[in-house]
Amino acid sequence: MRIYNTLTHRKEDFVPIEEGKVRMYVCGPTVYNLIHIGNARPMIFFDTVRRYFEYKNYEVNFVSNFTDVDDKIIKAANAEGVDSSVISERYIEECKKDMAGMGVRPATKHPKATEEIDGMIKMVQNLIDKGFAYEVNGTVYFRVRAFRGYGKLSGKNLDDLKSGNRTLLVTGEDEKEDPMDFVLWKPKKEGEPSWPSPWGDGRPGWHIECSVMSQKYLGETIDIHGGGEDLVFPHHENEIAQSEANSGKPFAHYWMHNAFLNIDNKKMSKSLGNFFTVRDISEKYDLQVLRFFMLSAHYRSPLNFSADLMQAAKNGLERITTCADALRAYAGDQEKGGAKQPELETYREKFEAAMEDDFNTADAISAVFELVKYANTQLAAGCEKDEALLALALLKELCEVLGINTEVKKDTLDAEIEALIEERQAARAAKNWARADEIRDLLASRGITLLDTKDGVKWKKA
């Protein structure tokens, strides 16, 4: 298996720290509102990475945090006149609902920053003791120039940053020894949550949170650290500095970053009116469509979200589920053992080759489509039921790695449509043609096509 490592800018063979095990940390959302579709991309992709490792029989310890103390959370809490924990807990629960809808499995551990304050204070004190950090008026800063490897992930040069781009600096320059030093602990402000510390009541800086949670649940050195490419600098750069200064050991062996998501070829922003939450998308599409869309491009390629591309993803997903339904109807859906078919195994091999080349989900999906085409051809030729069962089993297995459900979910809309069809059938039996036509027109207006089959009337969404 080869992974593109942001740290080295090349693909490298994956060699785990401990054979048969993977320690993996992915930065989670700041929970002040519903998650947006930009948040969804790393959630879906790294869930798929985890699934593939498990498919290959690795034991995966997958940690993804919730940042539940932050300026945006405090602002939302003050606007509502509630404690910040009310806001964070509300949106953690909403986030979990959206993750479930997208087929994102719960992490091995979802730590919350507010539950790990003691560990953060301990790490900050250790950094002070080692000379990597200092305190000024209740604020603790990290001495960036004391850590010789600073910039190795992002490729940024400290002197260039200092002189060239002031927007990259954090506030409070006049208190610092160096403008590039960043905050590890900040003093309490009125109306903000705070915790006691050796430097006075306050709260942690953002960067220290992930370092502490990763170290606590995965160890001082981990296999993979992931997130969106927007986190490379300064967040992940600062994580490396404070973590390695603290432990004296490499923080992560492989750094993986997904590219940005654009909306109709423009950056997503509320000011442009093209900002979409996952909940917004769920009102128009099954979230399995959103997942399929996200995996249809390589994770390191920018991804453009548009109505046309989502429709294409919907159509592609339906090709897969329709094939699975046809195989199921032809041969049933019981477990199938016995010898593997060489022809079928070629599709597994193509799928695995794609996934082991830096998790190329786009090519993996192409292998699934090839399997669908083969299965449909076999069905049309009247293959043996055992062959259909083997094809179905493989299709389900590969789709499970991608987090794609091959069974079309029934919902309340389905029940309503079935009831209308039954009413139409009763109207036809009673020769009430006007009502029968009225129901057919109603269903057609809602995008439902009726199909007369030997087993009765079936329906599908147009």
CA-CA distance, 174 to 82, in Å (whole number)? 34
CATH fold of 2-258 reads Rossmann fold (3.40.50)
Q: What is the pLDDT of residue 443?
A: 84
pTM over 0.85: yes
Q: What is the pLDDT of residue 170?
A: 47
CA-CA distance, 115 to 11, in Å (whole number)? 36
Averages of pLDDT over runs of 10 residues in the chain (462 residues) are 98 98 98 96 98 98 97 96 96 97 97 98 98 97 97 91 53 77 96 96 96 98 98 98 98 97 85 87 94 98 95 95 93 67 94 98 98 96 93 97 84 70 88 88 79 73 60
Show contacts of 192-195: CB within 8 Å, 24+ apart: 192/74, 192/84, 193/69, 193/74, 193/83, 193/84, 193/85, 193/114, 195/117, 195/121
Q: What is the pLDDT of residue 414?
A: 67
Amino acid code (one letter) for 55: Y
Per the CB < 8 A criterion, the answer to whether 275 and 36 are in contact is yes
Q: What is the pLDDT of residue 292?
A: 98
Q: What is the pLDDT of residue 173?
A: 53
Count Cα neighbours of 40 within 13 Å in the Cβ-side half-sphere: 32
Looking only at the bridges linking them, the beta strands covering 266-267 and 261-263 are antiparallel
Q: Sketch the domain layout of the chain as residue ranges.
A: 2-258, 267-402, 412-461
Q: What is the pLDDT of residue 452?
A: 73
- Tell me phi and psi for residue 272, to 5 degrees: -85, -5
Q: What is the pLDDT of residue 441?
A: 84
CA-CA distance, 412 to 424, in Å (whole number)? 19
Alpha helices by DSSP H, listed for 27-102, are 37-55, 71-80, 84-101
In the structure encoding, which two tokens stand for residue 250, read together? 């490499």
CATH 1.20.120.640, domain 267-402, yes or no: yes
